[in-house]
Structure 1
Amino acid sequence: MTGAAGPSPLSSEFAQEIVDTLAPHSVYNVNIMDEHGVIIASLDPDRIGTFHQAAQQALAEDRVLNVDQPAPGSSDRPGVNVPLRVGGRLVGVVGLTGEPSRVAPAARFVGVAVELLISRELERERAVARQTRSRDFVAALASGTSSVAELAGRAEALDLRPPWTLFVESPAPEQGRVPSAEVTTILHGSRWTVAPVDVAQRYRQQPGTRLLRIDVADLSELVTRAEEARAISDSVALMPEAADDRWRWDVALAVARLGPRSRERLAARVVEPVWSETVLVLAESRSLRDAAAELHVHRNTLGHRLTQIERATGVDPRQAAGLFTLLMAVYAGR
């Protein structure tokens, strides 16, 4: 039996690379046979592509096979043939040519070494494949060019299960990746990352960057939030700086969806820095008293300032709709 079906992890190119690597350290000729017993790598070019009867038998019986006298008519030579098992699957055979009693100790060692090399290569290939799938998933998500059904298939291939946290960091940092299990790529100067919630807790924003971060419960919400994040990140100044506790996703998104002229007109409404600070604090306060305390002014002073803002802008910051408009003006001013 040769194990589970599927593409062989042992290509002829990689097998020959292994043989060439081992050759300077071995006094015996090394051959590698695939899972069908065909020689795919050897120091003797004439043997490549020929059938190795003893290798096929070693695979069929799943055991180390010594060859003292090759079978009549075969191209086999005296030596030791060691089955290669990787991930529970027989993937081929490594053979050392020579008198079996002398070759046997080295053959078993070489067999272990070749299995380790194959396992390492498979791990590398899996990492590269996951990185590619991760990049394609996030690129499709960020670009908005794929349906929810297509993204669901991509997420399943990555074994990516909700809930997640979506990160968009700009400009993309050169270092400081999140831990393993994230899917990430660089798009339009920003790094987009989707990470399981437990992994996302270890995410650290890099100095000098702005970061969007939002938790999502399912794929539909992830798609929606990605669309919103794309709009906000198109204007990096709308993204929050580190430790910006007053930043609001809804306000940034509303401003991001305005045209350039609308933003300019809106930004012109709140031009005084003290007004901007007042609007931001008021939006986060439960009452005028709390806002005055946060601003370190008397409540009457705050009331007078709000009246000034209303007269200058035509919008009452004491009303919810007016306050939201003024918040948009502050963000547009960024």
Structure 2
Amino acid sequence: MALRVVQTIAPRVDYPLNIMDERGIIIASSDPKRLGNPHPDALRALSENRTIVTAQADPVSGQLPGVNVPLYADGVVQGVVGVTGAPQEVASLAQLISLTVQLLLTQHEEHVRSTVRATQISDMLSGLVSGSASDEALAEQLEQLGLSAPWSLSLLLDEDGPEQYEAALTINNARWVLSSGPIEDPASARAILGPPRTQPSDLLVDAENLRTLGAVPALVPAAGLRELWNEDMALSAARAPEAYCRSLARRTAQISAEHAFTLLALAASSTQSEAIARLTVHRNTLIQRMDRIKQVTGSDPRVPGELMALLNSIYARVRLGEMHIFQYSKQLKYGLRPIGLVEESP
């Protein structure tokens, strides 16, 4: 840093320039032969914590006229800037160079701190993503970073906007985000937004679940569909053997995406009226859809147990790539439906 300052400034001024460290040793100079030598006036500036002005040359010590100004960083003297020449000519220049060096030192330290913090964040998230993190190590990392509970861990797909999260790591087009508290719902991305956690061990569980779901991107819901999406069912489908998923998928092999959304809305609603509001359809339309689903599948979505079986089948079809219902988005009053969804007449 000191050498770079001298190399930059010295050619632009008409006076010899020296920079000394906190011991008074010359570490950068427009006269390379002086490097490594102690500077008497710098030692005085350090010990007395003030600017030293030398008006006359000292033939004994070899000291030349000039001004030596202490360098401060975080309120502590870190070195000295010396400019050789008649004090009345170089005093203001020495002060200006000192301020410039202090600014550069501050910027350098901020850059170092920022780089260290970015590395710590990357290490922490890499541990979560890879599954190598431990409860104790994660707790220590969170404390070092000053991230206070509650925390949330989220997974974002198709997020191509500018980076807006400090604690984020992008791997294979998936962005992992850890924040203090919930993150703002990213309207442009498919995402799984983690719940608030107060224990690092819960974040480890969330990370394992996100790794599982991230391996099957089709199961990650688009913005607005998260109200209709069920994480437990998505995890079950993601973890199930493919042969078992094919067996489950046969139950709903003949129903449309529209009927699949009807099932999702029924499961996410406490009453049929709420499901109607989510789907923005007429009551008769909902009845027709439920009757059609029962006719095609042999399972009645009005019966809770049979509705769950139908949903498991839908999630299995998504896992197998037979349906892509979680990748569509179109804003409704209480949720979303696929783009281009055509309304049935009542």
Which bracket does the TM-score occupy, shorter chain normalised?
0.7 to 0.9
CA apart distance, 1:92: 1.0
Q: 1:126-165, aligned counterparts within 5 Å? A: 126-165=113-152
What are the residue-to-residue correspondences of 1:202-221 with 2, within 5 Å?
A: 204-205=186-187, 207=188, 209-218=189-198, 219-221=200-202
- Looking at structure 2, the residues matched to 22 and 254 of structure 1 have their Cα atoms a distance apart, in angstroms, of 66
Q: Deviations over 1:113-153 (max 9, x none)?
A: 11111111111121111111111111111211021101111
Is the CA contact (8 Å cut-off) linking 1:216 and 1:222 kept in structure 2? no
1:230 to 196, 199, 211: 211
For 1:170, the equivalent position in structure 2 comes to 157
The Cα of 1:296 is off from its aligned counterpart by 2.9
Q: Percent identity?
A: 34
CA–CA separation in structure 1 for the residues paired with 2:58 and 2:295: 103
Task: Choose the corresponding residue for 2:92, options 88, 105, 108.
Answer: 105
TM-fit CA distance, 1:69: 4.3
Counterpart Cα distance in 1 of 2:121 and 2:136: 16
Match of 1:270 in 2: 252
Residues in 2 aligned to 1:117 and 1:45: alpha-carbon distance in whole angstroms: 22
Name the CA distance, whole Å, in 2 between partners of 1:72 and 1:253.
Answer: 84
Which runs of structure 2 are paired with 1:1-334 in the superposition (5 Å)? 14-69=1-56, 74=61, 76-171=63-158, 173=160, 175-178=161-164, 182-197=166-181, 200-201=183-184, 204-205=186-187, 207=188, 209-218=189-198, 219-244=200-225, 245-271=227-253, 272-273=255-256, 274-288=258-272, 290-291=274-275, 294=279, 295-298=281-284, 301-302=288-289, 304-308=291-295, 311=298, 315=299, 317-334=301-318
Residue 34 of structure 1: how far off its partner (Å)? 0.9
**What are the Cα deviations for residues 239-273 of structure 1, in whole angstroms up to 9, with x where unaligned?**
01122131222221221111222223322321211
Question: 1:204: Cα distance to partner?
Answer: 3.6
The letter of the residue matching 1:264 is: R
Residues 124 and 133 in structure 2, CA contact (< 8 A), matched pair in contact too: no
Measure, in 1, the Cα distance between the counterparts of 2:204 and 2:23. 47
Unaligned runs of 5+ in 2: 319-346
CA shift, 1:25, in A, is 2.7
Aligned to 1:11: none
Q: Which deviates further from its counterpart, 289-298 or 138-147?
A: 289-298
State the Cα distance separating 1:322 from its structure 2 match.
Answer: 3.4
Amino acid corresponding to residue 37 of structure 2 in structure 1 = T
Give me the whole-angstrom Cα distance separating, in 1, the residues matched to 2:173 and 2:276.
40
Residue 153 of structure 2 contacts residue 203 of structure 2 at CA under 8 Å; is this kept in 1?
yes
SS of 2:195's equivalent in the other structure is: strand
2 CA distance for matches of 1:105 and 1:290? 76
2: CA distance, partners of 1:277 / 1:251:
15
Checking the alignment, whether the CA contact within 8 Å between 1:246 and 1:284 is kept in structure 2 is yes
> 1:70 and 1:139, CA in 2 relative to 1: closer, same or farther beyond 3 A?
farther
Contact 1:309 1:317 in 2 (8 A): no
Structure 1 residues 133 and 71: CA distance shift in structure 2, 3 A: farther
**Alignment check: 8 A CA contact 1:281 1:291 kept:** yes
Conserved in 2, the CA contact under 8 Å of 1:292 and 1:302? no
For structure 1, list consecutive stretches of 5 or more residues without a partner in the other structure.
1-13
Separation in structure 2 between the aligned mates of residue 232 and residue 93 of structure 1, nearest angstrom: 58
Contact 1:38 1:52 in 2 (8 A): yes
Q: C-alpha root-mean-square deviation of aligned residues, in Å?
A: 2.3
- Taking the aligned partners of 2:78 and 2:14, their CA distance within structure 1 comes to 25
Q: What is the CA–CA distance in structure 1 between the aligned matches of 2:316 and 2:82, rounded to whole Å?
A: 72
Q: Deviations over 1:79-116 (max 9, x none)?
A: 11111111112111111111222211111111111111
TM-score with structure 2 length normalisation? 0.82
- How many pairs were matched up? 311
Cα distance in 2 for residues equivalent to 1:18 and 1:73: 30
> 2:76 & 2:53 partners in 1: Cα distance?
21
